[in-house]
Amino acid sequence: MTAALLDGRLLAARIEENLRAEVSTFGEMLGRRPRLAVVLVGDLAASGSYVASKRRAAERVGIDSLLVERHGLVETNELVELVDGLARDEQGPVDGILVQLPLPPRVDTVAVLDAVPPDRDVDGFHPVNAGLLSQGRPRFIPCTAAGVQRMLIDAGIETAGRHAVVIGRSDIVGRPLALLLSGRGAGGDATVTICHSRSADLAEHARRADILVSAVGQPGLVTADMVKPGAAVIDVGINRVASASGGSRLVGDVDFDAVREVAGWITPVPGGVGPLTVAMLLSNTLLAAELRLR
Ligand code: GUN
């Protein structure tokens, strides 16, 4: 059996098409476009490229973006003040504020993220939004977790009553995704196991999964013997590894070639979950703009 490919680019393009129309309606009502502020700190090439792709996507659907960059030595309080200033619309009206992670090690990431007001927290990282999600009344859902759920719903992959295993317990992906999959309604009602670096016998847990999600960042973590035949395998990992030609290439956490012979569905890397993360960010930004009208 060869798994069906879950094409994130195609789905993201469809979502963007709908968003473009909604953004345009919003613009007609308010006389301005929704606006997203993106804070990029440090010199990580990967972060720079993610931010560029988020801004290009915003442009495609008619959302304005403001890039605020800080390089060199940066202190926590400087970043908190920067976010506070954005929240006071000091650089023009801003509907959504995103602080690209990771921040440099010397910076207190939690303090900076907590400075983003919950009603502009398009990443869904603020404790208020995390709390609302955990109570089953989500407002801003972390983008990658929302994207994975959207992908399952769109592909018609049943989650109700199924066993989902999420490898990774991060606040960005693993934990919110486990909440979504175990919550009520479409793309939910699953029985969920969260595995992490201290889990005993990861392979045994994984083999019981109807839906297996890996969000760790470890190439080759999920091998074919860990996958139940016919399972949906969702690869959230993005890892840059050396390629045979001497350059580098992107791979996920899943041993793609071997696992696709066992799984029922599989996401490629790149072109799987990544584009959906961006589409969900755009959707959250429109929601933030609409919330300001209420
Ligand atoms: N770095 C990796 N993933 C994310 C994300 O979803 N949001 C932000 N802000 N930074 C990230």
- Closest C-alpha to ligand 1, atom 2: 101
If DSSP codes are grouped into helix, strand and coil, which group holds residue 91? Answer: coil
Q: DSSP code of 55?
A: H
If DSSP codes are grouped into helix, strand and coil, which group holds residue 107? Answer: coil
- Closest C-alpha to ligand 1, atom 8: 100
Is residue 249 within 8 A of residue 87, CB to CB? The reply is: no
- Residue 211 confidence class, pLDDT cut points 50, 70, 90: very high
pTM for the model: 0.97
Taking 80 as the threshold, does the pLDDT of residue 294 lie above it? no
257 occurs within a structural domain: yes
- Closest C-alpha to ligand 1, atom 3: 101
User: Is residue 143 within 6 Å of ligand 1 at its C-beta?
Assistant: yes
Which residue is associated with the tokens 């792709």? 53
How far apart, in whole angstroms, are the C-alpha atoms of residue 24 and residue 229?
A: 44
Which is nearest to 125 in space by CA: 147, 109, 137? 109
The encoded tokens of residue 201 equal 């016998």
| Of 95, 123, 253, 255, catalytic | 123
**Centre of ligand 1 from the C-alpha of residue 45, in Å:** 14
Q: Summarize pLDDT for 249-285 with one digit per residue, the tens.
A: 999 999 999 999 999 999 999 999 999 999 999 999 9
221 occurs within a structural domain: yes
Taking 90 as the threshold, does the pLDDT of residue 55 lie above it? yes
- Residue 30 confidence class, pLDDT cut points 50, 70, 90: confident
264 occurs within a structural domain: yes
Is residue 8 within 8 A of residue 273, CB to CB? The reply is: yes
**Centre of ligand 1 from the C-alpha of residue 47, in Å:** 9
Length of the chain: 294
Ligand 1 atom closest to residue 281's alpha carbon, by position in its atom list: 6
Q: Give me the sheet containing 265-266, strands edge to edge.
A: 4-5, 265-266, 232-235, 211-214, 163-167, 191-195
Number of domains in the chain: 2
Does 159 lie in the same domain as 94?
A: no
**Centre of ligand 1 from the C-alpha of residue 238, in Å:** 12
If DSSP codes are grouped into helix, strand and coil, which group holds residue 214? Answer: strand
Does 109 lie in the same domain as 181?
A: no
Q: Summarize pLDDT for 117-159 with one digit per residue, the tens.
A: 999 999 999 999 999 999 999 999 999 999 999 999 999 999 9
The encoded tokens of residue 15 equal 């979502």
Is residue 100 part of the annotated active site? The answer reads: yes
Taking 80 as the threshold, does the pLDDT of residue 33 lie above it? yes
Facing residues of 41 across strands? 70
Is residue 54 part of the annotated active site? The answer reads: yes
Does 90 lie in the same domain as 42?
A: yes
Which is nearest to 256 in space by CA: 276, 277, 238? 238
* Residue 240, domain extent: 143-274
Residue 115 has what pLDDT? 98
Is residue 123 part of the annotated active site? The answer reads: yes
| CATH code of the domain in which 75 resides | 3.40.50.10860
Residue 34 has what pLDDT? 97
Does 163 lie in the same domain as 98?
A: no
250 occurs within a structural domain: yes
Facing residues of 166 across strands? 194, 213
How far apart, in whole angstroms, are the C-alpha atoms of residue 249 and residue 219?
A: 12
**Centre of ligand 1 from the C-alpha of residue 282, in Å:** 13
Would you give the distance in Å from CA 65 to the centre of its chain? 18
How far apart, in whole angstroms, are the C-alpha atoms of residue 201 and residue 180?
A: 24
What's the average model confidence in pLDDT over 50-68?
A: 98
Which is nearest to 146 in space by CA: 183, 104, 98? 183
User: Is residue 151 within 6 Å of ligand 1 at its C-beta?
Assistant: no
